[in-house]
Amino acid sequence: MSDYDEFGLFAENASEVGLPYEGPPLVRRVDVPVDSSGRAVSALVWGDRPPEVVLIHGGAQNAHTWDTVALALGRPLVAIDLPGHGHSGWRDDLDYRPPSLAADVSVAIRELAPDAIAVVGMSLGGMTTFSLGARHPDLVRAQVIVDVTPGVNADKAKAVIDFIRGPQSFPSFDEILERTITFNPTRTGSSLRRGVRHNAVEQPDGSWRWRYDRRHHGDDVVITELDPSALWEDVSAAKVPLLLLRGALSPVVDDEDVAELLRRRPDAEVVVVEGAGHSIQGDQPLELARLLEDFLRVQSRA
């Protein structure tokens, strides 16, 4: 079986986008129990100072999707593995809807980053961030939502759903990588190779399987089983600064979604990120880091 060091690829992240690299960053993995059974939410804690940002990935991803953004920001932060993803425990009830995810994630944030300036959520992580703001407002001082609103549906997210509904296991690494590249035309092959290493596990027979809990089909649960109007109420409930980042090449957020969000949160800021699809952190990580840094500076002065 091939060796895997989850902290051994940061130099590649930096080199690919031209970031200076002076050696491995200070990053550690921490597990926070979230229920009486000992099920835990796992997270990457960057830096040795109180975290200023919480990053929450999308469905079928994991905390390492933010690695290049975290390197570019250079701030102490926490990148969380959602339940059922990455190194976090799987839910026996298969309830991976945003309100339930928010309940678990709130325990980890309270333990690891209770004073964070902002929570940043992408896709399923963005929906979870809306629920966090409504249900745990003491933990959410500002929200950054990456390419999602409660207006998401099966048509808008078809490419995401088609990818997640694919095979669970593959005979070889090359085959799991090939399918990933096919469904991510805006990403570089090297970044997708790193992503697969973080998001898949080699089996004793040399085959590879996805690391996340496939029993619920990731974002598909959000789209098919959740009443969107309920999450729109979560959007309205939060009374904190909100930045929505929309991928210019992504169909997941449309103009009607933006209009509804601004109707409910008139002070929200909306920015379209050129050259980015749904996963802005993968397509345009330096631009995302710049936008986050500008937003965080404003919030720090508020």
Instruction: Please tell me the pTM assigned to this model.
Output: 0.95
Q: Which residues are catalytic?
A: 123, 147, 278
What lies within 8 Å, CB to CB, of 18 at 6+ separation is none
Q: Is the pLDDT of residue 222 over 50?
A: no
Q: From the CB of residue 187, how many other CB atoms can be counted at a distance below 10 Å?
A: 16
pLDDT tens sequence across 28-57: 999 999 999 999 999 999 999 999 999 999
Nearest-angstrom CA–CA distance, 62 and 28: 15
pLDDT above 90 as % of the chain: 86
- β 53-56/118-122 pair status: parallel
Nearest-angstrom CA–CA distance, 32 and 110: 10
Per the prediction, the chain carries an average pLDDT of 93
pLDDT bucket at 226, cuts 50 / 70 / 90: low
Query: SS3 of 145, please?
Result: strand
Question: For domain 29-301, is the CATH number 3.40.50.1820?
Answer: yes
Q: Are 115 and 299 within 8 A, CB to CB?
A: no
pLDDT tens sequence across 162-173: 898 889 999 999
Nearest-angstrom CA–CA distance, 62 and 85: 6
Mean pLDDT of 230-258: 96
Q: From the CB of residue 43, how many other CB atoms can be counted at a distance below 10 Å?
A: 30
**Residue 158 one-letter amino acid:** K
pLDDT tens sequence across 75-101: 999 999 999 999 999 999 989 999 999
156-184 per-residue burial string, b: 16 or more CB within 10 A, e: under 16? bbebbbebbeeeeebeebeebbeebeeeb
